[in-house]
Amino acid sequence: MIGRHLLGRQVAVAILIIVFLVSIVLAASAGPLRAQNSDTVASAALPLTNRHLVGSISSISPDQKSFILTLKSGHAVTVKLSHTTDLLELSPTKKTITLADLHSGSRVAVAIVKNPTDLVQARLVVLLPSNNPSYRIVHGTVTDLSTNTFTLVLPGNKTLKVTLVPSTIYSKKDRHAPTLVQQSDLVQGSQVLVVGTLDGDTIAAKLIHIVKL
């Protein structure tokens, strides 16, 4: 009888040990999951889901080829440039620029490649006039192209009407730098980035950057 009681106590102790070890394993596995979820929430809190940003440069790091962009919402993000980043100035001079042409306080429109955290990689940076804070930047496919307008199909199949004027600047992605081109280079099916002023579902294009035909 004593042997049976002793055996039962040993089995109970073994079960408690197993339960304790399992709880430790579960807690350890849940820790990284909670941390991952926390990072996801922190990243999602940044207003970068559309991958198109407009804001003011608060500081520049030439050595790092990056700058801090402060958005209208007050969020600040680090924008990283690379050898594939196109830089343009939205002005009557219609010129391409370099990082040296950007300064603290400059207003820019940025199209980004990805958004893993609060560090973003720029595919296009457009230096905006300081006297117009209402510019927007959008990306999509050209359809229903005519002399003065076209329809821009956005991701998710939403559409915007794009109006063209004689002062609209046209550029195209080149191997090393953006090239200024003519309106005739814009064709049906072009993938473009459009910078302009938005009014409802119509954007008046100030610059159209062709990224893919």
What's the pLDDT score for residue 153? 95
Q: Tell me which of 78, 97, 127 is where a domain ends.
A: 127
Together in a domain, 23 and 89: no
Percent of the chain's residues with pLDDT above 90: 43
Q: Which of 9-13, 56-60, 68-72, 159-163 has the lowest mean pLDDT?
A: 9-13
Over the chain, what is the mean pLDDT? 78
Q: Tell me which of 84, 103, 127 is where a domain ends.
A: 127
Q: Is pLDDT above 90 for 1?
A: no
Domain at 148, CATH number: 2.40.50.140
Q: Tell me which of 78, 109, 127 is where a domain ends.
A: 127
3-state secondary structure 98-141: CHHHCCCCCEEEEEEEECCCCEEEEEEEEECCCCCCCEEEEEEE
**Structural domain range at position 155:** 135-212
Q: Is pLDDT above 90 for 119?
A: no
Together in a domain, 29 and 75: no
pLDDT digits (tens, 9 = 90+) for 7-64: 455 555 556 566 555 555 444 444 433 333 322 222 333 444 457 889 999 999 999 9
Domain at 123, CATH number: 2.40.50.320
- Under a CB-based contact definition with an 8 Å cutoff, are residues 173 and 209 in contact? yes
What's the pLDDT score for residue 108? 93
